[in-house]
Homo-oligomer: A and B are copies of this chain.
Amino acid sequence: MTVLILTGEEDVTADMVVVHLNASSVPVVRLDPADLTAGAALSGEYVHGSFRGHLSAGGRLVSMNGLRSVWVRRPGVPAARAPEPSAWLTEEASQALYGMLRGSGARWMNHPDAARRARHKPWQLRLAQRCGLPVPATLITTFPQVAREFAERFPDLVVKPVSGAHPQDPPRAVPASRVAPDTDFAAVAYGPTLLQRRIVKRADIRLTAVGETLLAARKATPADADPDEVDVRFASSATDWLPVEVPPRVAATVRRYLKEAELAYGAFDFAEDADGTWWFLECNQSGQFGFVEVETGLPIARTIAAWLARSAPGEPGHVDDRRTVAP
């Protein structure tokens, strides 16, 4: 039973995981969908009520029915490196590859449907609420008057993009930033705006969830930190990321979130306040983990390798497209 990793050629984070898979002699095939139809090939046959599929990449042929798991790491755009690339060929190659893999019965980290749904921030907030995670008061609106009233109720706000996407080209992450007290909010009418009560934090938490295993790191906020630096990704690095225990109540709610979201992997960001409460900010289903592992020594890559190597279904992330239908 083989582990299939969908990613580009240069991916040192994937390399970190492959090292562990190799050490435990689990067969691995690495395929970049961009290499379809030059370097990678596929075939699937539907005859007499059954399906047999194969993939070929890097000179190796693997049966789709013999896949243990699929790690959707950083796959390229299907057929992007074909001799004559086109939007049409990309669509054909994408449907052929993912359409067949969806029927393979493999476990996914993460399943494409779950991954896509999990990118919706408004959906994340609602799910976090339902699972019992503390969510800072949040408004997403195109009504300036509603934004003004929200700012009266919650005077200390930050503003973030709804999608986490970037208005610039080339792409850049948009930092969350504080809302000035005299903000007028008229511009809210031109695009949905996410306003969120600012958590006065004493630390940032990055919780990396791999199946049932939760690995958390904590970065204390220096006492003299600039309160305008709300986004840890853009803050100065006076303190280090250190491993931290996950409080049992948080662990239970995070596992509930993953189960509902059908995610095998998620990188949760929390803000820890003065009372020690972890406030949910977001869960990135494809969040980076390399920097956390390097800084803290948390065994994230090894845990991912172990998850991918397991052959039993039944945990979060196992969306069973192959479930048997009684005839």
A residues within 8 Å of B by Cβ? Answer: 36-37, 41-51, 56, 79, 82-84, 86, 88-89, 91-100, 102-103, 113, 116-117, 119-123, 125-127, 129-132, 135, 137-143, 146, 150, 161-163, 165-167, 189-192, 256, 260, 321, 323-325, 327
Contacts and interface: CB of A to CB of B under 8 A. Distances in A.
Contacts of A166: 88
Each complex incorporates copies of this chain amounting to 2
A49 B135 contact: yes
Contacts of A146: 43, 45
A141 B96 CA distance: 8
Contact of A100 (B43, B122, B127): B122
A143 B46 contact: no
B113 A99 contact: no
Given A91-B165, A143-B41, A47 B325 contact: no
A161 B120 contact: no
A102 B88 contact: no
A324 B95 contact: no
B190 A37 contact: yes
B130 A325 contact: yes
